[in-house]
Amino acid sequence: MRRLRVCVVFLQFAAVLLFAAAQPSAPGNYIGADVIVTAAPAYVPLAELRGQERFPKGAHLLRIHEGKAEPLVPEFAASADANVSFDGSRVIFSGKQKQEDFWQIWELTIKDRSLHKVVTTAGDAERPLYLPAGRVVYALRTSAGFRLDSNDDGHPLSYVPLNPTTGPGELTLAYTRGSAFPDDVLQDGRVLFESDFPLGDGRTAEMFLVYPDGSGVESYRCDHGLARWGGTQLTSSDVVFTHGAGIARFTSPLAHEVRVPAPPAQYAGSVAETSSGDWLLSTRTAQGAHYALKLWKPGVSTMETVFAQSAADLVEPVLLAPHRMPTRFPSGLHPWNYANLLALDARLSREGALPGMPTLVRLETQDEAGKAVTMGTAPVEKDGSFFIQVPGDKPIRIALLDAKGNVLRQEHGWFWSRGGEQRICVGCHTGPERSSDNHVPEVLLHSTTPVDLTAVRSMDLAHRAATGGR
């Protein structure tokens, strides 16, 4: 049965490739570079966030040169998710040499067409993106969905990295349950990834940021609503993404998204920006139709078809050209298995005033089964500050309690702190637009030692409150 499925998939691919070879559509030479695109008989948007296969009938990378498409790696049974190195000389991608293989991370050198496997994993590894300093980020399939991971890109640097977390070997970047899938690497060095909102617990696609050492995870913006996914950063630094059926953008001046007035269509995220500032998009007219490659000049009411196939979705276009390298992030993690979390004023939130005065903060983590486990509580000072030591590399969430132990507000989802991370929160869900006040948090005037909540304790809340929790 499995062989039959493989044969069917293979035949479908053959059809796609034959079709591609036979019917080149509109010339693409005005784009200024060759385009690499993933062609798939079926593309299932957001399947990655369910831990499922985005390309259930396989996929192949096509290189479109002057309107003609050729398989980029014909020797592979399947290939997808192209990402071009900063100097434009190499392409990293998800590939299967044989149909029954796992998706693995491979790299093609354009000049000599040499191939090498970048990362070997025991399961599917997909959607690789180059990071600066000889690293890559990708999604690793686990039993709980896709996990954000990082590894060497196979071209080790000549200098010693500043921190072992960015040094050789595999590093997990996301520590909540559920899927996390990389979208792009921003110019400021952070990894843009999609997951569900609330993080680790939700069902609505949303975009998040994390540093390449797994620290500093946060929502890109906090005007959560419709599903947002497939983000790409443009040269303007704006991030364009699919929002519902349309597209929208995040822009530095605003704390909320801005809808992009693009022609009505269904968009598949992952925009490629040409040197002239036009956008190369994957769109389709209706459910059931295939995604085609379109070129759109922002502000214009129509799009031009660059390439289309009647039997395949064309998604994740990238330009085979040099592009700006993001800033390398120097990890400053300490060699600890815990993290320190300082909240400056837990009373602050986009969700409005609390129904009472918080006196305690409760920390929870998840056990292996995903069940919430209380780690203990710590006092919240009158200015809303608290300072706690939390387990590193684990899903955590906090709740604010009043003096009677009633929950005043609880985080909707989960987040994590890397081991060795020292993190400051301006408030609880204040949004990225909120800068901190400048005063010494009261909690640090009392003690510079955080309340240790790294181990499950059954300390009586009243006792803890009476002793100040320190």
Partner 1 sequence: MMQTSRSRTFAVAAGVSGLVGAAVLWTGIWMAQPAGAVVTGRVGERLIYPSPLEMIRSGDGKQLFVLCNESDEVRVIDASTGAAVKTISVGHVPRGFALSPDGNRLFVTNSWDDTLSVIDTASLQVIATWRVGSEPSSVVEDRAGRTLFVANRISNDVAVLNAQTGAEIKRLAAGRGASYMALAPDGGKLYVTHVYPNPSPHRTEPESEITVIDAQRAVVIDRMQLHGIAGVFHVAISADGRLGAAAELHPKNLVPLAHLEHGGAFEDTLMLFGADVGNQTVEVPLDELERYVARPFGVVIAPDKSRLYITSGGSELVTVIDVPRLLRCVHLHHAPFVQDLSASANYVVTRIQVGRDPRGMLLSRDGRTLMVANRLDDTISVIDTQNDRVRSTIRLASPAKLSVLRYGEQTFYTARYSFQGQIGCANCHIDSTFDGLEWDLEPDGFGRDIVDNRLIEDLKGTEPFKWNGGNPNLPTECGPRTEKYFWRSANYDDLTLADLVTYMLSLPPRPNRWRLPGYELTSAQARGKAIFERTVDKFHNPIPLQNRCSYCHSGPKGTDQKSFDVGTKRPTDNSGLLDTPQLTNVALTAPYLHDGSAATVEQIWTVFNPEDKHGRTNDLTKDELNDLVEYLRTR
Q: Please, what is the minimum distance in Å from the beta carbon of residue 344 to partner 1?
A: 7
| Residue 223 touches partner 1, criterion: CB under 8 A | no
- Taking residue 462's Cβ as centre, other Cβ atoms within 10 Å add up to 11
83 DSSP β-pair partners: 92
| Residue 25 touches partner 1, criterion: CB under 8 A | no
Residue 65 vs 423, nearer CB to partner 1: 423
197 DSSP β-pair partners: 204
| Nearest residue to 329 via CA among 105, 165, 111 | 165
Would you say 50 and 56 are in contact if contact means Cβ atoms under 8 Å apart? Answer: no
List 154, 216, 246, 298, residue binding partner 1 (CB under 8 A): 216
**What's the burial of 442, exposed, middle or buried (CB within 10 Å: 0-12/13-18/19+)?**
middle
Residue 298 vs 432, nearer CB to partner 1: 432
| Nearest residue to 347 via CA among 339, 338, 356 | 356
Q: Which residues from 167-196 bind partner 1, rule CB under 8 A? A: 188-189
Would you say 171 and 202 are in contact if contact means Cβ atoms under 8 Å apart? Answer: no
Of the candidate spans 78-86, 176-184, 254-262, 307-315, the one that interacts with partner 1 by CB under 8 A turns out to be: 254-262
| Residue 444 touches partner 1, criterion: CB under 8 A | yes
b vs e for 95-104, b when ≥16 Cβ sit within 10 Å of the residue's Cβ? bbbebeeebb
| Token duo for residue 462 | 């009243």
Q: Please, what is the minimum distance in Å from the beta carbon of residue 424 to partner 1?
A: 5
| Residue 470 touches partner 1, criterion: CB under 8 A | no
| Residue 387 touches partner 1, criterion: CB under 8 A | yes
Q: Please, what is the minimum distance in Å from the beta carbon of residue 247 to partner 1?
A: 20
| Nearest residue to 35 via CA among 71, 60, 62, 73 | 62
Cis amide bond preceding 198, omega within 30:
yes
Which conformational region is residue 352 in: left (phi greater than 0), alpha (psi within -120 to 50 degrees), or beta?
Answer: left
Instruction: List the x/- string, 308-347, binding to partner 1 by CB under 8 A.
Output: -------------------xxxxxx-x-----x-x-x---
Residue 134 vs 450, nearer CB to partner 1: 450
Which conformational region is residue 469 in: left (phi greater than 0), alpha (psi within -120 to 50 degrees), or beta?
Answer: left
Helix, strand, or coil (residue 13): helix
Residue 143 vs 438, nearer CB to partner 1: 438
Characterize the bridge pairing of strands 104-109 and 171-172.
unpaired
List 1, 22, 122, 160, residue binding partner 1 (CB under 8 A): 160
Q: Please, what is the minimum distance in Å from the beta carbon of residue 121 to partner 1?
A: 28
Q: Please, what is the minimum distance in Å from the beta carbon of residue 58 to partner 1?
A: 38
Q: Which residues contact 158 (CB under 8 A, 6 or more apart)?
A: none
| Residue 302 touches partner 1, criterion: CB under 8 A | no
| Residue 246 touches partner 1, criterion: CB under 8 A | no
Residue matched to tokens 């400021």:
188
Q: Please, what is the minimum distance in Å from the beta carbon of residue 131 to partner 1?
A: 12
Characterize the bridge pairing of strands 204-210 and 191-197.
antiparallel
| Residue 289 touches partner 1, criterion: CB under 8 A | no
Of the candidate spans 40-48, 397-405, 424-432, 462-470, the one that interacts with partner 1 by CB under 8 A turns out to be: 424-432
How far apart (Å, rounded) are the C-alpha atoms in residues 407 and 388?
Answer: 18
List 21, 433, 460, 462, residue binding partner 1 (CB under 8 A): 433
Size of the site for partner 1 (CB under 8 A): 44
List 300, 357, 424, 456, residue binding partner 1 (CB under 8 A): 424
Instruction: List the x/- string, 127-146, binding to partner 1 by CB under 8 A.
Output: -----x--------------
Cα 53 to Cα 106, 259, 313, 338, 399: the distances in Å are 18, 29, 14, 35, 35
Residue 224 vs 423, nearer CB to partner 1: 423
| Residue 162 touches partner 1, criterion: CB under 8 A | yes
Q: Please, what is the minimum distance in Å from the beta carbon of residue 381 to partner 1?
A: 13
Q: Please, what is the minimum distance in Å from the beta carbon of residue 132 to partner 1?
A: 7
Residue 167 vs 332, nearer CB to partner 1: 332
What is the secondary structure of 326-357 as a DSSP string?
Answer: PPPP-----S-SEEEEEES-TT--TT---SS-
| Residue 461 touches partner 1, criterion: CB under 8 A | no
Cα 106 to Cα 34, 125, 464: the distances in Å are 20, 10, 53
| Residue 259 touches partner 1, criterion: CB under 8 A | no
How far apart (Å, rounded) are the C-alpha atoms in residues 18 and 279?
Answer: 27
Instruction: Output Rg (C-alpha) for the chain, integer angstroms.
Output: 24
| Residue 254 touches partner 1, criterion: CB under 8 A | yes
- Tell me which residues touch partner 1 (CB under 8 A): 132, 159-160, 162-163, 188-189, 216, 218, 237, 252-256, 327-332, 334, 340, 342, 344, 387, 422-424, 426, 432-441, 444-445, 448, 450
